């Protein structure tokens, strides 16, 4: 009986350690839309006036694919697009709202290593680079738009990341803590006055958070 139990345990361990093997391929990604509006009303002297202010709008999409180059070691690539529309900017009038827009395309390669915790549950810390390019536009009035180019560079460590694979082709991921650095560069060139004027700005940001932006995702394995 002990030999049978030992054999079953060895088989179970082999199955657990055989997951995420060399050659495994998966697809994942994200999709999101955020927006809304604020309605306000004032009643004075029996007369009611109301106004509606659109909120900022954000649209994101990012397909992702990963491949195991060796057992437990996976490389991945994510292609993303983000559209941001601000709330009505300071140039808005009583008759018309003007907005700031930004478009950003991103390429994010990464690598993750899978450490078995128990059957079907893995701790998979990782590292990634983030490269982005796009543009921003500010509406000044009905006929004037100011444009500038945007480039970004960043890298990050996924320190608290887990994956649970309840069945052969499906997995659930949990990320609850990252350390990341990001650099955003914006630049503009204006020659309308006869003299070329170049402006640029660099924004550096460092982020570290535990459970501040916890995310749950899904993967499909081929």
Q: What global pTM score does this model have? A: 0.78
pLDDT tens across the length of the chain (222 residues): 545 444 444 434 444 444 578 889 999 999 999 988 888 888 887 788 887 888 899 999 999 999 999 999 999 999 999 999 999 988 888 788 899 999 999 999 999 999 999 989 999 999 999 999 999 999 888 888 888 999 999 999 999 999 999 998 999 999 988 899 999 998 877 656 666 677 888 999 998 877 666 788 999 998
Question: Out of 3.90.45.10, 3.40.50.10210, 3.40.50.410, 2.40.160.20, which CATH number does the structure's domain 2-34+51-221 have?
Answer: 2.40.160.20
Backbone φ and ψ of 8, nearest 5°: -65, -40
Give the per-residue pLDDT at 191. 59
* Domain layout of the chain by residue ranges: 2-34+51-221
Structure tokens at 9: 């345990």
Burial of 196 (0-12, 13-18, 19+ CB in 10 A): exposed
């Amino acid at each position: 009986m002990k030999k049978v139990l030992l054999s079953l345990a060895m088989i179970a361990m082999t199955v657990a350690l055989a997951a995420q093997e060399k050659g495994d391929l998966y697809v994942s990604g994200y999709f999101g839309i955020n927006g809304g509006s604020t309605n306000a009303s004032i009643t004075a002297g029996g007369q009611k006036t109301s106004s509606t202010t659109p909120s900022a709008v954000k649209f994101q999409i990012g397909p992702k694919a990963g491949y195991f180059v060796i057992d437990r070691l996976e490389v991945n690539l994510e292609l993303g697009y983000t559209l941001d529309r601000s709330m009505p900017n300071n140039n808005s009038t009583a008759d018309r709202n003007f907005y700031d827009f930004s478009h950003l395309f991103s390429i994010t390669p990464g690598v993750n290593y899978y450490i078995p915790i128990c059957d079907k549950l893995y701790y998979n810390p990782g590292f990634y680079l983030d490269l982005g390019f796009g543009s921003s536009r500010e509406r000044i009035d009905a006929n004037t738009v100011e444009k500038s180019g945007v480039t970004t560079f960043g890298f990050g460590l996924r320190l608290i990341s887990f994956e649970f694979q309840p069945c052969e082709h499906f997995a659930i991921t949990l990320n609850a803590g990252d350390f990341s650095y990001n650099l955003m560069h914006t630049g503009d060139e204006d020659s309308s006055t006869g003299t070329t004027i170049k402006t640029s700005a660099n924004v550096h940001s460092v982020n570290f958070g535990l459970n501040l932006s916890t995310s749950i995702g899904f993967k499909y394995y081929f």
